[in-house]
Chains A and B, each alone.
Chain A
Amino acid sequence: MAIEFILNGKPRTVDVEPNMPLLWVLRDTLGMTGTKFGCGMALCGACTVHIEGVATRSCVTQISSIAGKKITTIEGLSPDRSHPIQQAWIEIDVPQCGYCQSGQIMSASSLLAKNPQPTDSDIDDAMKGNICRCGTYQRIRQAVHRAAQLQGAAVKTSQSGSEGNNEIAPDAQPVEVGGAA
């Protein structure tokens, strides 16, 4: 069955079984492996994507249910790791093994979109569905707060600046330490 949707801003059509989860369509059919498989039951959050801007577990989302909708994956969050969440993640060196981080980042960016100044308790609520076995939670919390600052600064710049660009505060630029692997 052909299903059309908007993936990271571009229209896509896939011809797959209608009950196939979005996760496997992304990973196997479309080759977009940034979204991870962790549990298959919406228990761990590794597969989190945005559907119409809302953090959603793609492992339990049938592809037929997203026809016509806008999907954002980790690959589409920003073209250059410039989303405040990504910037804060880099600044605070959040990831360890990194496997859960796509899901963490998608949950955190969804939180920040609707709540620009989340409290610790807001972070608990929004992030407790995302498991990290490396235990990066403390840094995730710190990075969500930092991203809120960066986003706030960006909003300010964009409101006062003549061009209204997306640049964030200069001290928030990630330190380039060289590419790996």
Chain B
Amino acid sequence: MSAGTTTKVNRRNFLKTTAAGAAGLVIGFYLPRNSEALAALPEGAAPATLNAWIRIGTDSSVTIQIDKSEMGQGILTAFCMIAAEELDCDWKKIRTEFAPAEKIYFNPAFGTQGTGGSSSVRSSWDPLRKSGAQARDMLVQAAAQQWGVEKSSLRTEDGAIFHDATKRKLAYGSIAEAASKLPIPLDPPLKDPKDYRVVGKPTKRLDTSIKVDGSAEFGIDMRRPGMLYASVTRCPVFGGKVASFDATKARAVPGVKDVIQISTGVAVVAENTWAAMQGRRALEVKWDEGANANLSSEGISQLFADRAAQPGLDARREGDAVAALSAATRKLEAVYEVPYLAHATMEPMNCTADVTAGRCDVWVATQFQTVSQATAAKVSGLKPEQVFIHTTYLGGGFGRRGEMDFVVDAVEISKAIGAPVKVTWTREDDMQHDYYRPASYAKLSGAIDADGWPVAWTTTIACPSVMNARYPERFKLDPTSVEGIVNIPYTIPNILIDYQRVEPGIPIGFWRSVGNSMNGFYSESFIDELAAAAKKDPYEYRRHLLGKAPRHLAVLELAAQKFGWEKPLPAGRFRGIAVLFAFESYAAQAVEISVNRSTKTLKVHKVVCAVDVGRPVNPSTLVAQSESAVVYGLSAALHGNITIDHGRVTQTNFNNYPVLRMNEMPVIEVHIVPSEEKPTGAGELSVPPLAPALCNAIFAATGRRIRHLPIRPEDLA
């Protein structure tokens, strides 16, 4: 059966799959083809897949299957809110489970089950509302039948059905079982948004209490009976291989059980993590460093510069920017560059696997469940349906946990040693074997007319392609390579943006806000350069040019108004502003700083954010995510720098890859544009405006334009 058709729950199977005493209504519930419970059932017992998000117990508990990864962004709470809104359930009775790897949970943005690209609310808004409405409709139908009244005479509230005429009331739990026997309605009516009682209301996270007492389980916390612990040493040079190794000393370390070569390096297996790490220190490995052994940051930068000197693939061409530039009298040219960046999630990469003859279990903090499943199947030699992915809480993701290297480690080792194993990466492993935010290089030109308004803008971006790294050679022009500049919203008659793809050989991946993190810096800095050349206020300059971009304009004006742009700053304080579109949403930030030019130090006092994400589902987490994104962007702008020397990463830990700490924290204000539009991306949106707004403020303070990140002391002189 396909989605939208009628199905019934096989009650016997359902009882087997539910938690103690929680039988009742399972809306759109199906028995996942590879769920643990189903493994023991005869073939053909499983109903077809439909929606698979809501289960109601006889105790009126409502269990929501969370099919995206909770990595701090608050998706668990947002999903419960969306479903609960239509279901009219009792918020206190909501429980959650992380969903198994299943096709029904595929994210249409990726064609796999995964969390990223700020797509979760966008992609689940419709299915979750529908799922909630279906459940409610069936409960009401069952109550109508039981009471012998018209469905339309009933209303629902807080997990109960009311027949006001006869003052009767039924708790969802008491009718859930009867409801579960009814057909699932195809298109249940959805609420009018003006009646919303949950969506749009600031709501506390559901996962806070377990995160203040140490009980939340992250991937790294997994423990299985008979489990061993492993640490894997990898070739420090990207692409290098093990030439030979001597495990004699490693095996002599107390607690070490085994030393084996796997595809990613050499694994030391021990009775605890510490012993595995100690064993690894004693391990002697000779590496075949391969073709990348001479790569350096300087060489990569030169490669970018050489390629950016040549025209690239057209990403946007309007008017004739080249002719307009050559005809113009007031021209600006600038080169911008940013380095590779590590994700540095607080929870280092890890994975626990148990491979047996006919089954593989993987406990993992992953952003990509079905890719983890396929990877584990390939490595273990089992079929995907024999692989069970157990998603845990993620101690940060930011794109890093969409990669599969840690899954490969654990599954290979468990298969080799025939025991459950947990692989834990050291911080150094995590820092030196990331899939980095690519380094990138931009060559920009602009021309302004006699009144200072731009008449031409050109940009050549030179950088590696993240999308082609993930989906090999699928993209001629990777949209993420130019996002954040290809879509400059300003009214400029002649625009040429082109792209030179350069692949130096350093592993790259998705890093919170992806291409916007680089290109947003270039575009919103360079428009500021044009404003300065025109001797106009950078806020008013942008405003003037945003005539065709009302939502950009609205966030820009909101940020400026809340910042108090019209008022003079106290002596010694300076400000910068930026506005960007990303993930179908809009963000503007105004930053207030002071600079001590003699000590070459900077203090960021305040960041005022304005965001338009369409209809906000949970304004509280939207504020939290915006604060979070500002900190992530500020860490990168002030400190983030992964450098390459002899094909390896120089940085090792938080001592030489510093990130923002409490003492550097500015005050952050977040203002939300009220909107009735469909919800759009929120988690990454507020990363990209930070660097340009900050650097524009530094320009206001010092007259020096920052065109390289991170900001160096000499930039502040």
**A interface residues with partner B (beta carbon < 8 Å):** 17, 20-21, 24, 27-29, 31-41, 43-44, 46, 73-75, 77-78, 81, 86, 89-90, 93-102, 105, 123-125, 127-141, 174-181
Contacts and interface: CB of A to CB of B under 8 A. Distances in A.
Residue from A75, A97, A129, A135 whose CB has the most chain B CB atoms within 10 Å: A97
Contact of B214 (A34, A43, A128, A131): A34
A131 B661 contact: yes
B211 A95 contact: yes
A133 B654 CA distance: 11
A135 B632 contact: yes
B157 interface: no
Interface in B663-687: 663, 665, 667-668
Given A24-B274, A38-B348, A98-B216, A89 B208 contact: yes
Interface stretch (B69-77, B289-297, B445-453): B69-77
Interface residues of B, number: 77
Given A24-B274, A95-B211, A134-B628, A37 B348 contact: yes
A27 B346 contact: no
A179 B92 CA distance: 8
B632 A130 contact: no
Residue from B72, B92, B275, B667 whose CB has the most chain A CB atoms within 10 Å: B72
B95 interface: yes
B73 A140 contact: no
Interface stretch (B125-133, B312-320, B391-399, B582-590): B391-399
Residue from B98, B212, B218, B395 whose CB has the most chain A CB atoms within 10 Å: B212
A156 to B, nearest CB: 24
Interface string B63-84: 0001000111110110000000
A160 to B, nearest CB: 28
A135 B628 contact: yes
Given A93-B204, A178-B92, A180-B206, 11 more contacts: A20-B274, A28-B272, A41-B655, A81-B213, A94-B212, A96-B73, A99-B346, A131-B654, A138-B627, A139-B624, A181-B66
B95 A134 contact: no
A36 B395 contact: yes
Interface of B: 66, 70-74, 76-77, 91-98, 203-218, 220-221, 223, 229, 254-255, 272-275, 277, 344-348, 393-398, 424, 426-427, 620, 624, 627-632, 635, 653-655, 659-663, 665, 667-668
B662 A135 contact: no
29 contacts: A33-B214, A33-B217, A36-B218, A40-B426, A40-B653, A44-B346, A73-B214, A75-B213, A77-B213, A90-B208, A95-B207, A96-B628, A97-B395, A98-B218, A99-B346, A101-B212, A123-B662, A124-B663, A127-B662, A132-B631, A133-B659, A135-B628, A136-B628, A137-B631, A180-B96, A180-B206, A180-B209, A181-B66, A181-B96
Contacts of A141: 662, 665
A128 B663 contact: yes
B158 to A, nearest CB: 13
A135 B627 contact: yes
